[in-house]
């Protein structure tokens, strides 16, 4: 385990102001097809106890352990999405868009009941899950929010793809993608995720794929739930979706969204600078595994509302509109 730093509490007015853990005020539900299974799945977000973290519960499983903590060391597959498992063969997949929304809304503790093996794809972005959090409302809890502070650079590589975390005074993402010979081509983006940036800049960015790949996956019995309603589909130099793109650089924004969700499997928010080049779910998880294997690379810490512009009412990814 990492070393515990002294608490960082800044004085404001007549006492310290500490960023506290947050959960939902009330349960909220949704349903929709799974991207890969095509089957309709129902999902309910419920308030969580302090320090309980984010936990999935497969309510369609009658025997054995049906709880799956949303943790980096529970990742069992990263080929088409991020899949979590509990060691007893119970899994839940495509968790990254929901995890990104919970990170972006500053939700620390929540129980997610789901009646199938895959989180609904919704529109292919995090925006529907952000909307669920807004509908449920958010409440502060008594316990202070912990973060992971990056103490030294950590890098992992896979061919020409790299992912790294470096020390920084806030969480930032620098992501670069490249798909030669396609409309996507080369895109890069650097964003500091503080004070509502996630919801403003990333939440609506949709997952994407190339027509020939989608056709091949569906012929192989995969991506059964994929459609133009829940993914951007690119054919040559054209976007097939009616209405086109939501952002000119929606592709790299979605890759960044995925990284936000994958890194939230650290269990708490990270204070550091993430850099990713051609990275995906596999490398994102490898980065967390490399980080936690080195006790000198990180530590737990707490923050105050005064620290590097973090809003007191929203935490690391402050969302004043979510209340």
Per the domain annotation, does 181 fall within a domain?
yes
Annotated catalytic residue: which of 36, 97, 254, 281?
A: 281
**Domains in the chain, number:** 1
Could you read off the pLDDT of 10-69 as tens digits, one per residue?
Answer: 333 344 578 999 999 999 999 999 998 889 999 999 999 999 999 999 999 987 789 999
The better pLDDT of the pair 181, 67 is held by 67
Q: What confidence score (pLDDT) does residue 10 get?
A: 32
Check pLDDT > 70 for residue 322: no
Q: Let me know if 252 is exposed, middle or buried by CB neighbors in 10 A (0-12, 13-18, 19+).
A: buried
Residue 321 within any structural domain of the chain:
no
Cβ atoms 134, 314 nearer than 8 A: no
Picking from 24, 66, 164, 102, the residue whose alpha carbon sits closest to that of residue 316 is 102
* Containing structural domain, residue 75: 3-309
Q: What is the pLDDT of residue 219?
A: 82
Active-site annotation holds for 97: no
**pTM higher than the cut 0.85:** yes
Average pLDDT estimate for 238-248: 95
Tens digit of pLDDT for each residue in 278-313?
A: 999 999 999 999 999 999 999 999 976 555 444 333
Instruction: Specify the CATH number for the domain of residue 64.
Output: 3.30.1700.10
pLDDT at 3 over 50: no
pLDDT band at 120 (very low <50, low <70, confident <90, very high): very high
What does DSSP say about strands 54-58 and 3-4: parallel, antiparallel, or unpaired? unpaired
Q: Is position 208 within any domain?
A: yes
Four-residue CA torsion sign, 264, 24, 196, 167: negative
On whether residue 236 sits in a domain, the answer given is yes
Inside any domain, residue 322 = no
Helix (H, G, I), strand (E, B) or coil at 208: strand
């Amino acid at each position: 385990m990492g070393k515990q730093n002294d608490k960082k509490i800044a004085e404001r007015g007549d006492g310290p102001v500490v960023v506290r853990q947050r959960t939902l005020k009330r349960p909220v539900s949704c349903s929709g097809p799974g991207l890969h299974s095509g089957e309709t799945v129902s999902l309910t977000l419920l308030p969580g106890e302090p320090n309980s973290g984010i936990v999935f519960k497969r309510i369609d499983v009658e025997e054995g352990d049906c709880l799956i903590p949303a943790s980096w060391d529970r990742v069992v597959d990263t080929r088409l999405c991020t899949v979590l498992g509990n060691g007893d063969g119970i899994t839940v997949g495509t968790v990254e868009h929901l995890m990104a929304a919970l990170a972006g809304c500053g939700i620390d503790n929540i129980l997610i009941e789901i009646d199938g093996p895959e989180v609904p794809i919704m529109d292919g972005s995090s925006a529907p899950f952000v909307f669920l959090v807004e509908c449920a409302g958010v409440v502060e809890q008594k316990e202070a929010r912990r973060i992971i502070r990056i103490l030294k650079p950590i890098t992992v590589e896979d061919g020409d793809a790299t992912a790294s975390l470096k020390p920084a005074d806030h969480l930032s993402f620098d992501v670069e993608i490249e798909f030669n010979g396609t409309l996507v081509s080369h895109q890069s983006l650097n964003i500091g995720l503080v004070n509502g940036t996630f919801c403003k800049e990333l939440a609506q960015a949709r997952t994407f794929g190339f027509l020939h790949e989608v056709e091949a996956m569906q012929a192989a019995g995969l991506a059964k739930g994929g459609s133009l309603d829940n993914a951007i589909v690119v054919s040559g130099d054209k976007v097939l979706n009616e209405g086109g793109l939501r952002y000119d650089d929606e592709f790299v924004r979605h890759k960044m969204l995925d990284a936000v969700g994958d890194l939230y499997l650290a269990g708490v928010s990270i204070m550091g600078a993430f850099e990713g080049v051609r990275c995906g779910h596999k490398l994102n998880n490898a980065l967390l595994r490399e980080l936690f294997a080195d006790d000198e690379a990180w530590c737990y810490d707490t923050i105050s509302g005064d620290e590097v512009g973090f809003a007191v009412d929203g935490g690391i990814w402050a969302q004043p509109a979510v209340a």
